Structure 1
């Protein structure tokens, strides 16, 4: 199957964005001084909120992702409750695969399950690519979200990165060790690269559709990249993530890269082209900034000091939200202090506060609200 190139409509994307230039999130992403430290949390729209559980009581996950009014409402719920500086689009990393016609479902308690795993070159070559019209419900949902945001709040779109999507397709579902995925990657690299080449256009198109619908930033989420060595990441993953970030550059909006357990890959993940690098809770932000800055300097020794800087996103341990107000206050201050030290040393250009992964389902919503309030005081 041949894959048509993804064409970009930058003018439409610019015309639909409505966030103010000095919105705290955008200012921090650029490296300007924001009016307050911006904060949002991955999975902030979800099971921790009683209003979410109520609205999802009789609706499947993917059904909600493709129902515009539900998508909009769920995306906006935590922004209203917590005074977040950014909304993250309610979606799932398998949405573009489902929209393209791949037989999969999200099974409660397990996650995405694929009916026919992709393990041959022919299957990879014939993988369908999502088309813009298949994503129209997402476009309509984004319009509803934008109507509900203040001009100082932004909307972040996102997609799963090629390695993470490939892992689900090869394994047939979630995996603790990714042994089938890595076994295929090592033993049949030609099949692996065929699959990655097939996935990349769908990811670019999914993100492009979101950009042209008016989102203000884009995050590429590589959930499982932390299971790879740096060597394997560079050979089997980085070329495709780099292609995605390069394709999105003309939109001129912040591009974020995040993965779980990727402390040893932070430099490599920065090198592929994001403007903002998400850091999980295992690595202090000032240490992360050193790794990122060093990798960028090695990649481009002739580059200017400014070109070696990225904005940091993160990185409170989600479990801290269970420890009580005093601990939350102390840990928020610690994270902000680490980010401030990195910026003072010229190793980072900004900080967007976040968790080091997603909000846990049993988190008290009031604890999240208090954390947001504390961040805004820093």
Structure 2
């Protein structure tokens, strides 16, 4: 999800990843007269100076606010995923298989995009896969309604007014029809989930039809993603980084992707590729990223400037690592979804297929959790807690391999 803001972006993305994170809350009652008054004020404001009166009226005259977006705006996550759970659900065998099929289908287009932007095809595929599962999950909330509501109620109204104005400009210029302009509660939309303001900075008409359509045109969406990464400083020909092996006893107290050193400095420190081979020259400088350092170690990575461009897409190192690993696997038919160094846990995370299996077992035990969709939301977590208590596990609501194995054995 591009440029939703440093705090809001990871939360919105996590909501899409995990489903509903907490019990359903009652949306606030919104005053329609106040909403109409707010819209009238917005129409004459500086932020909307590039939106003509006809466009504004056409898309707002019968518009009602959506109070449910305010619940999502103020929601605080009650469950924080460890990195191994996060990666397990985003980089699983299903997504890798889908990615390899899509990569084969769009390879010629991706090569032409690379010629223009310098962004490697597999990197673009990684973003596409994590953001929308290769176009399969785009969100379903009308952007005009969501952003109009957020422009008039709740916090961060100034920010959302800019996004609302950009949305109306997209409609005014005819890039995407109103019925297709749907996405997340916060306004991210399209195959790789651009915010509307990002659309005007990075969207590209790659298929040459005169419109920048990042919803229905895969070439436009992929080229626009590459343009965003190019604008963020992507370096042609450099890898994002690689998994590495650290020498025993190495001081990692200052490890950070931001603390970059020449690759020769890492060689002198005894760092090698994870298989023991020397560090290559393809990455001139890198920072040391150890995602689970505070949880006991696990995989370590040297990451370069191109990893930072992935981070800029959504301010989360775990998110950037998911894209990076998925990009490796899409381009490597023999690659394994697991990193070489295991995570520091005896209870690894579940893939989406395993989440569905877990939910099926919960349904068979009479838990009312809806359908087995692979998204672990509030109802599934409550059911997990109940089963954990019954089995003598810590009732924390986490879906892991141990719980799945116990439920399979107990049936």
* TM-score normalized by the length of structure 1: 0.25
Structure with the bigger percentage of strand = 1
The structure with the largest alpha-carbon Rg is: 2
* TM-score normalized by the length of structure 2: 0.23
